[in-house]
Structure 1
Amino acid sequence: MRVSRRKKKFQKPGSMDLCITIKGVSFLLQSGLGVLGNLSVLMAYAHIAYVESYLQPVDKILAHLAFSNLVQLLTRSVPQTVVIFGLRNLLDDPSCKMVVYTHRIHRALSICLTCMLSVVQALTLTPSAGPHLTKLKSRLSQLVVPTFVGLWLLNMTVCIAAPLFSIAPRNGTVPPFTLNLGFCHVKFPNNLSYVAVGAAFSTRDFAFVAIMLVSSSYILIFLHKHRRQVRSIRRTQQGTSMEMRAAKSVIMLVVLYSVFFGIDNVIWIYMLTVAQVPATVVDMRAFFSACYATFSPMLMISTNKKIKTRMVCAAGEQSAEDSEKPKR
């Protein structure tokens, strides 16, 4: 007890203020960039759908991914930022249940949709070697929406424990087997439920990551073989250039997700091994788990020609409207 008192006595308040400021600014930048980027992708695809009245399967998945990333940021990074800057009692018990449940669903959808994206791209690139594969490839556009519904139902079921254990923060210490999210607590009744829920989430995540990595490895092998085959056939190379660019974009998204998924799960596994998780560890996991939602729209914009063209056209139309306004 004497040691802890001595530490408190000589603790510099300025260092704590600096840490809180750095943490708050980091979450604020992450939230702002992520929300702006995902909104830009959604608006670009909304205009493409309006003009062309049809979206390719990959475009539908990317639009849904941007929406899930946006909701993920709004239900985790934004409240986390507000709490860091000192606003307490942000949510009551029902609000916590709704926000935590919504975040868990969309966080899960983010990994599922990235996995779906890599599988669809692998099927698109695969040569039609039989009637079954040919039929499957021809029905890809029809299967996208039913797959979305299936993923929603799956994740709503897996994440059902989140609202059951979510409560608003109470005054005093955080009890054992509780995830302190800052704006909400996820309080498990015992160690068994704490580990079981964590194991269920990890099993689902690792299963989709495994599928994602297998399909992405196939895409990489296909791209390598294709590059060697079409070096001297320019016409073939031009005919498949769009598919090649889309495949490379998917690979980059998978790599981006895998990096942040690895960091996120290392922290998550550590959290499952302790009864009371330090607040700093929770903040680190919240930050890294939201990094994919922040950086993926930037990658989509920089590598997807449709989105980039739409955004450039919108900027040009806006500047043209401004120049046509009569000057006073």
Structure 2
Amino acid sequence: MDLCITIKGVSFLLQSGLGVLGNLSVLMAYAHITYIESYLQPVDRILAHLAFSNMLQLLTRSVPQTVVIFGLHNLLDDSGCKVVMYTHRIHRALSICLTCMLSVFQALTITPSAGPHLTKLKSRLSQLVVPIFVGLWLLNMIVCIALPLYTIAPRNGTVPPFTLNLGFCHVKFPNNQVYVAIGTAFSTRDFAFVAVMLASSGYILVLLHKHSRQVRSIRRTQQGTSMEMRAAKSVIMLVVLYTVFFGIDNMIWIYMLTVAQVPATVVDMRAFFSACYATFSPLLMISTNKKIKERMVCAAGEQLSEDSEKQKF
């Protein structure tokens, strides 16, 4: 096997394995918290949903990509390609939407109540989570509905113009106008959510700065407020992580919109960088979220205790 193909395959394999394991660990931690406490805070529910969407994103893009790189072709037929690509696009879109939702909810959570309307809104945040989830699912299902129409299984021979060769599937657009129109629709949606995400994150940074000045001046703060501020910092790190990989992803995507025949290497590069957030975000959640970390440490301690008991016998 060629060295470049080996490196590419190992890279996608590590990305898929690490990402799926990390997101699955976050989901299991939140499942345990739900079982014990029977309730999740709005931000925790968003993080759990984000981990689920990131895991599905990896399973429907990075995993098939890895399998094809290592030589297993004709993995899916036309129907399978349509289902896999539609699922991937929905969960990729949900990843950015949920990260945006997370930053907005965290900004509202730590905002000082300055009036009855804001106080009422903050008290209803837990009730708004599920309706917003439903709205985001419907929005992205509608926006992505056109993609399965142009998705087919790979055919023998050369790749025609205006076709994205994903390896395990082809996305064949009829002409340049449709190709650019669909790409513009996706980019417009993504940039809109990123703009809201950055605006709310900037507001969180302002509140964090004010909070740090108050702490220095009075040398005391309530425990609940401190926990909210720590959560806000972790949200900021998630937003920064997403923004970095979003920028790389879209620079490649803009280039792809300008050429009729997209090289397979460029498609692979975009697939890798677009999945990096889904891979590294659960690691950031685990390292910065006290609830998740405690569940994982607790599970590890219980496993060590069981092993010690077995060794006694």
Give yes or no for TM over 0.5: yes
Give the match for residue 21 of structure 2.
36
Give the match for residue 304 of structure 1.
289
In the alignment, does 2:295 pair up with 1:324?
no
Amino acid at match of 1:280: T
CA shift, 1:204, in A, is 0.1
Structure 2: which 5+ residue stretches go unaligned?
none
What is the rounded CA distance, in whole Å, between the counterparts of 1:199 and 1:316 in structure 2?
50
Q: Deviation digits for residues 154-190 of structure 1, max 9, x if unmatched? A: 0000000111110000000001111111100011111
Give the match for residue 261 of structure 2.
276
In the alignment, does 2:41 pair up with 1:60?
no
Give the match for residue 181 of structure 1.
166
What is the rounded CA distance, in whole Å, between the counterparts of 1:294 and 1:236 in structure 2?
35
Question: Greater CA deviation, 191-200 or 238-247?
Answer: 238-247
Larger Rg: 1
Q: Deviation digits for residues 240-262 of structure 1, max 9, x if unmatched? A: 11001100000000000000000
Conservation of the 8 A alpha-carbon contact between 1:97 and 1:167: yes
What is the rounded CA distance, in whole Å, between the counterparts of 1:253 and 1:44 in structure 2?
19
Conservation of the 8 A alpha-carbon contact between 1:80 and 1:182: yes
What is the rounded CA distance, in whole Å, between the counterparts of 1:180 and 1:43 in structure 2?
35
What is the rounded CA distance, in whole Å, between the counterparts of 1:316 and 1:252 in structure 2?
28
Give the match for residue 247 of structure 1.
232
What is the rounded CA distance, in whole Å, between the counterparts of 1:41 and 1:108 in structure 2?
20
Give the match for residue 126 of structure 2.
141
Give the match for residue 6 of structure 1.
none
Amino acid at match of 1:167: I
Pairing partner for 2:35 from 36, 42, 50: 50
Q: Deviation digits for residues 196-249 of structure 1, max 9, x if unmatched? A: 000000000000000000000000011001110121434425441100110000
What is the rounded CA distance, in whole Å, between the counterparts of 1:43 and 1:206 in structure 2?
32
SS of match in other structure, 2:275: helix
Give the match for residue 89 of structure 1.
74
SS of match in other structure, 1:182: coil
Amino acid at match of 1:188: F
Normalised TM-score (structure 2): 0.98
CA shift, 1:326, in A, is 5.8
What is the rounded CA distance, in whole Å, between the counterparts of 1:205 and 1:239 in structure 2?
33
Conservation of the 8 A alpha-carbon contact between 1:230 and 1:236: yes
In the alignment, does 2:110 pair up with 1:125?
yes
Structure 2 matches for 1:211-230, cutoff 5 A? 211-230=196-215
Conservation of the 8 A alpha-carbon contact between 1:35 and 1:73: yes
Normalised TM-score (structure 1): 0.94
Give the match for residue 149 of structure 2.
164
What is the rounded CA distance, in whole Å, between the counterparts of 1:238 and 1:39 in structure 2?
30
CA shift, 1:297, in A, is 0.2
Pairing partner for 2:191 from 189, 206, 214: 206
Give the match for residue 280 of structure 2.
295
In the alignment, does 2:65 pair up with 1:80?
yes
SS of match in other structure, 1:230: helix
**How many equivalent pairs are there?**
313
SS of match in other structure, 2:164: strand
Question: Greater CA deviation, 280-289 or 127-136?
Answer: 127-136
Give the match for residue 154 of structure 1.
139
Give the match for residue 93 of structure 2.
108
What is the rounded CA distance, in whole Å, between the counterparts of 1:37 and 1:173 in structure 2?
38
Identity %: 89
Question: Greater CA deviation, 315-324 or 43-52?
Answer: 315-324
SS of match in other structure, 1:252: helix
Let me know the Cα RMSD of the aligned residues.
1.0
Structure 1: which 5+ residue stretches go unaligned?
1-15
Q: Deviation digits for residues 42-89 of structure 1, max 9, x if unmatched? A: 000000000000000000000000000000000000000000000000
Amino acid at match of 1:61: I
Amino acid at match of 1:190: N
Give the match for residue 22 of structure 1.
7
SS of match in other structure, 1:179: strand
CA shift, 1:298, in A, is 0.3
CA shift, 1:327, in A, is 5.0
